[in-house]
Amino acid sequence: MSLDRAASIDDLRARAKRRIPRFAFDLVDGGAEGERNMRRNTEAFEEVELVPRYMVDVSMIDTKAELFGQTFDLPFGQAPIGMLNAFWPEADLTLARLCKSENVPYVASSAASTTLEELAEAADGNGWFQLYVSGDHTVTEGLISRAEAAGYDVMMVTVDVPAAGKRDRDIRNQLSVPFKFTPEVMLQLAANPVWSLASLRHGKPNIANYADLLQSATSYADVQKTLITPGLTWHQLQQLRDRWKGIFLVKGILHPQDAIKCAELGADGIVISNHGGRQVAFGPPTIEALPAIAEAIDGKLKILLDSGVRRGADILRAKALGADFVLTGRALAYGVGAGGAKGAARAMEILKLELVRALGQLGATSFSSVAASEHSKIHQTH
């Protein structure tokens, strides 16, 4: 199927699946354990019904969203994704440039396969920095100083990885560090020549911000120890808040009490996220966690939400239940996998057109006017 015939993000995903070797596709597409949480993320969005209101003149529709003093043209941005160049070469830069040209935020992951400095340049004022807190203080501090020097104003600290997620697909695919070219992998490479040649041209992707530190890594355990710590506490999060002069966001919140604590320590916002279902198979979908958090927070900080967003209407569902802004993780990534920069642009176009259409159909002239009391209804099927 050609890119312009792709009608949905799911169509782009299907196209990406045909072009990418299985081990690399699964790396992005997969979720924790049996993937229940990942499935529930999208199902739970579909269960939220919005009730249209008619006889409203919707000939002009405004999709802009104001956040932290900046006006974005659309109410969603790109969530941080590590190692995305393994999915498609130059995926990081492609998405950073797209976000700049569409005037939406791009979040550069600590674990990106492009350095935070290069991504800051590509996103050109629309870049935010996502921090993984390392067990080694000097590693964490090094990243924060670099992010400051690169000009990032927004830092998003991800807190939902006290232990790395167990992803059954990656285990079955025998993903390892350093990467092993098993006979099965060789077959997959041979079956996907476009991907293989493009990847060969761009070199083996790595976790660019830690390239020196990880040179001696011989296992995933080594990589994880450098990137994340099981010892992150509220005390340390407070120190990070005090250390960072700009906007401070906490990503990975699911419990109302944790959201309240983030407000108390002076965060500017939270991202309600379950890491796209990649961490905790037994956890709740984010759209279900949202109403209680929105009630507890009561406007004290900005609420962003991700995990499972595949349709423009999902962005409105999140807004109707109390979110201020949305992030998409895999949606635009599937676009890159489906067709490089053109595929990413197609994914953005699909989400944008769906969003505008859904606003009109809902009887809302702007994203900011979508209100819980007017439109939302939660249809509980379980």
Ligand X SMILES: Cc1cc2nc3c(=O)[nH]c(=O)nc-3n(C[C@H](O)[C@H](O)[C@H](O)COP(=O)(O)O)c2cc1C
Handedness of CA 68, 72, 323, 53 (dihedral sign): positive
Q: Shortest Cβ distance from residue 328 to ligand X (Å)?
A: 5
Which residue in 202, 275, 375, 379 is the catalytic one? 275
Q: What are phi and psi of 252, to 5 degrees?
A: 115, 20
Q: How far apart are CA 183 and CA 310, in angstroms?
A: 35
Pair 112, 120: CB distance under 8 Å: no
Which residues, listed in sequence order, are joined to residue 129 by a DSSP beta bridge?
A: 108, 155
Q: Shortest Cβ distance from residue 8 to ligand X (Å)?
A: 14
Q: Which is nearest to 36 in space by CA: 279, 330, 281? A: 281
Binding site for ligand X (CB under 6 A): 28, 41, 79-82, 109, 111, 130, 158, 251, 273, 275-276, 278, 306-309, 328-331
Residue number, 287 or 364, with CB nearest to ligand X: 287
Residue number, 41 or 192, with CB nearest to ligand X: 41
Residue number, 20 or 79, with CB nearest to ligand X: 79
CA-based radius of gyration for the chain: 20
Strands 70-72 and 65-67 come out as: antiparallel
Q: What are phi and psi of 317, to 5 degrees?
A: -60, -45
Q: Which is nearest to 277 in space by CA: 286, 268, 269? A: 286
Residue number, 109 or 229, with CB nearest to ligand X: 109
Q: Shortest Cβ distance from residue 232 to ligand X (Å)?
A: 13
Residue number, 249 or 364, with CB nearest to ligand X: 249
For residue 275, indicate whether it is catalytic. yes
Q: Shortest Cβ distance from residue 42 to ligand X (Å)?
A: 7
* DSSP reduced 3-state for 74: coil
With CB atoms as reference, the residue minimizing the distance to ligand X is 329
Q: Shortest Cβ distance from residue 53 to ligand X (Å)?
A: 29
Task: Determine the residue type at 79.
Answer: A
- What dihedral angle (degrees, nearest 10) is formed by the CA atoms of 85, 64, 148, 235? -100
- Residues annotated as part of the active site: 275
